[in-house]
């Protein structure tokens, strides 16, 4: 069971790390749009929140699984 959880953790981290990097870059671009251009801010909001949800879906288990392995 320990090896299966370790394998799942590795696979999740292979997805989570690039996704988290993308999220940080998009966030750095997206949040200042509130002051610069509100139309782009609201037009891009659904895509931003989908990225936030995906980051949470893959990131939360990556933080909780190591506690189950040890």
pLDDT at site 66: 84
pLDDT at site 59: 92
> Residue 57 CB: number of other CB atoms within 10 A?
13
- Tell me how far apart the alpha carbons of residues 14 and 21 are, in angstroms, rounded to a whole number: 12
Spatial neighbors of 5 by CB under 8 A, at least 6 apart, are 65, 68, 69
pLDDT at site 1: 80
Residue with tokens 């090896």: 3
Q: Crossing angle of helices 38-69/2-30, nearest 10°? A: 160
Q: What is the pLDDT of residues 34-69, one digit of tens each?
A: 999 999 999 999 999 999 999 999 999 888 888 877
pLDDT at site 37: 94
Within 1-70, where are the H helices? Answer: 2-30, 33-36, 38-69
């Amino acid at each position: 069971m320990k090896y299966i959880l370790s394998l799942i953790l590795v696979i999740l981290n292979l997805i989570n790390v690039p996704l988290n990097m993308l999220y940080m870059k998009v966030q750095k671009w997206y949040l200042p749009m509130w002051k610069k251009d509100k139309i782009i801010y609201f037009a891009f909001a659904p895509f931003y929140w989908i990225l936030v949800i995906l980051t949470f879906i893959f990131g939360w288990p990556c933080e909780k699984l190591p506690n189950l392995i040890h």
